[in-house]
Structure 1
Amino acid sequence: DGKSRGVAILIKKNIPFTEIKVVKGEEGRAIMLLWEIMSQKMLLVNIYAPVGGGDPTFFYRLNAKLQQFNDIPIIMGGDFNEVLDLQLDRSIKAKPHISGTNRAIHTLISDFNLVDVWRVVNPTTRNYTFFSHSWIDLFLISRSLLGDMFAADIEIRTISDHAPISFTHSGILGLERSRNWRLNASLLQLLEVQTLVKKAISDFYKCNPKGESDTGLLWDTLKAVLRGKLISYATNRKKERLQKTSELEQEIKDKELALKLNFSLDSFHSLQYLKYEFNKLMSQKVEFALFRVRQSYFEAGEKVSKLLAYRLRKLTVSNNIRLIKNEFNRQMVTNRDINVTFKQFYSKLYTSESKVDISDIDTYLMDIKLPCLSPGDRDAVEAPIG
């Protein structure tokens, strides 16, 4: 469907990179991003190849577009809609047939010295990213990047009929970030939380009688106590949800493996039910994120100052300095190193590097004959304007 076809490259907002060039392919099937990160240029490519192995022209056109990025390391991911290894990347029952598309992909791999990152880690393992028992979703990376790779794995199929594939590369670093606590107002709708808050308030006033304390101080202290109780409850609830999500993921993974080895209708229906439960958990998470967005605009929608302040605060966060070079031309990426670099720079900025002799300055100034106003001109200048 032309309306639903498309690819994208998503980058975490605190990754310190510089965009150099973006190239888009025809029909929304490819996008290339040339960026610089940690003083290294890299090309990110995402593709969605046409279905069927009879038309290799897509990969020949892709090959031609990549030629302009000569000698730049490549990370290419996406749905290739074609297997690489006809023996390992398909189910055993499939008959080997070398298509024109297969040849075009191998030409691409050879021309740019690429490798299938998952197959490097798992050279003889049979696994599939598509439900029809095919390995068609790939990460092809330059061989020069293999030394910085940590791991490669196939994730579970939860909602889509494709399984996501992931790999970790040490050249892309995440940065620390600070978080401000905010009350999850939806918790107050739970009877368990309402009981918790009422009991906390009751216990607080038993230990802190109203008449013996300053009202403002008492209110601030109560807020601190309630905040601690709510954070503790929310943390435990989040841990339980994460544990349930992890258990469901593992169950789905085990069911998928069993289904690959021995297909049965009962196992298939059981797997679909587990995916339904997992989808419900993910939907709740998305609903809460949307609720937070709607809440922010609802509370500040008619108050321009609040809404503007909210948007400016987000804009300030997005403009944070993520990377800076020090005097030795090394890139500093952590907040601590960036602050130290700024401190060192400004501490030396107004410090003279030469030794100054005061007598030389006095001699120089005495020899300068500066023009001056006569007494009459001075009085005229200082007179009122009339």
Structure 2
Amino acid sequence: MISDKAKAKIDLIKRDREGYYILLKGTLDNEEISLINIYAPNNIAPKFLMEKLGELKEEIDSKTILVGDLNQPLSNLDKSNQKINKKEVKEVNEILEKLELIDIWRKINRDKKEYTFFSAPHGTFTKIDHTLGHRNMAHKCRKAEIINAAFSDHKAIKIMISNGTWKTKSKTNWKLNNMILQNRLVREEIIETINNFIEENDNGETSFQTFWDAAKAVIRGKFISLSAYINKLGRAEINQLEMQIKKLESDQIKNPQQKTKLEILKIKGEINKIESDRTIDLINKTRSWYFEKTNKIDKVLVNLIKKRKEEKQINSIKDEKGDITSEEEEIKAIIINYF
């Protein structure tokens, strides 16, 4: 998934038949890049990686970033109990070295012990999700961190690549998020704000237009402050739960306990619940935006009607005996086909 804010052009898409990897080649913000996402099946990961990376070696160059669930630790530091198959690790690292791919997260974080996957049945932590980059690409990376990912038992790896061409954020006009009105406390606060404003400012001497403009500014400011407060509370709750998980995971690594394992799973469930509610809000917001935009289809319909009339004139010339529908029926047909 590529942000629509990025200027992206994809020149090549390549997949294997089984769907275990996808390769994208193109440009991001006018800079060449190759993105490879791989999933390596469990139990056969080392053999699979050597086979697939061999297939992709012609596509891997100095602009390549390879990410995914490789189901394979790359060093002793990538597993909490350090019981790894040294032969498999060596074989995988040998082919990565030939392709000049290095573990970006490990390059930046050196000897740090942090993991992306917690196996509840075994009670072990491993870093089997990796962000690999060509040596030339990896030198541009300034930051790499492991972050929690909702709806998944794997954590995500976030990297920051600096190429010195950061763009300033464009200013956007504030717009009310209608979904906030579903919050009872927000509705009560807004009603109270309106009542207080009217009581304090409706003196009969101010013109209606001035009174209305001032009221809109006050209400808008209240909405902005309430939205910021709600978002801050949500972030604080997530941050607190994530801090609890980190502490419990640290305790579990040092002294594995069934009680601690269950507590980790419980908190992850709470985080997923919060993220699920947030996702539903975003979906509803998107629906609201969609209906607002699709109400403004005048130009689209005019163009469709014009095109249909032109086609009808051509058809009527070819076949003078053909049935011609009324203009009203024609417009109805266009609208139905459009939606």
TM-score, normalization by structure 1: 0.68
User: Does residue 1:94 correspond to 2:83, yes or no?
Assistant: yes
CA distance in 2, matches of 1:267, 1:293: 39
Cα 1:224/1:308, change in 2 over 3 Å = farther
* Deviation at residue 160 of structure 1 after TM alignment: 2.1
The 5 A counterparts of 1:1-386 are 10-37=1-28, 40-53=31-44, 56-69=47-60, 71-85=61-75, 87-92=76-81, 94=83, 96-99=85-88, 102=89, 105-132=92-119, 133-156=125-148, 158-171=150-163, 173=166, 175-209=168-202, 211-298=204-291, 303=295, 305=297
Cα 1:180/1:288, change in 2 over 3 Å = farther
AA at the equivalent of 1:239: K
Are the counterparts in 1 of residues 62 and 135 from structure 2 also a CA contact under 8 Å?
Answer: no
Report the counterpart of residue 348 of structure 1 in structure 2.
none
Residues 174-211 of structure 1 show CA distances to partners (whole Å, capped at 9, x for unaligned) of 65133332223343344433332233223322333263
* Deviation at residue 244 of structure 1 after TM alignment: 1.6
Identical positions, percent: 27
Cα 1:178/1:306, change in 2 over 3 Å = farther
CA distance in 2, matches of 1:18, 1:300: 26
- In the alignment, structure 2 segments of 5+ residues that lack a partner are 120-124, 302-339
Are the counterparts in 1 of residues 41 and 48 from structure 2 also a CA contact under 8 Å?
Answer: no
**Larger Rg, first or second structure (1 or 2):** 1
AA at the equivalent of 1:214: S
Are the counterparts in 1 of residues 179 and 284 from structure 2 also a CA contact under 8 Å?
Answer: no
CA distance in 2, matches of 1:158, 1:264: 24
CA distance in 1, matches of 2:18, 2:272: 31
RMSD: 2.8
Are the counterparts in 2 of residues 74 and 142 from structure 1 also a CA contact under 8 Å?
Answer: yes
Cα 1:157/1:264, change in 2 over 3 Å = farther
AA at the equivalent of 2:97: S
- In the alignment, structure 1 segments of 5+ residues that lack a partner are 1-9, 310-386
* Deviation at residue 38 of structure 1 after TM alignment: 5.3
* Deviation at residue 78 of structure 1 after TM alignment: 0.6
CA distance in 1, matches of 2:300, 2:222: 32
CA distance in 2, matches of 1:156, 1:22: 29
CA distance in 2, matches of 1:175, 1:34: 26
TM-score, normalization by structure 2: 0.76
AA at the equivalent of 2:77: L
CA distance in 2, matches of 1:269, 1:56: 34
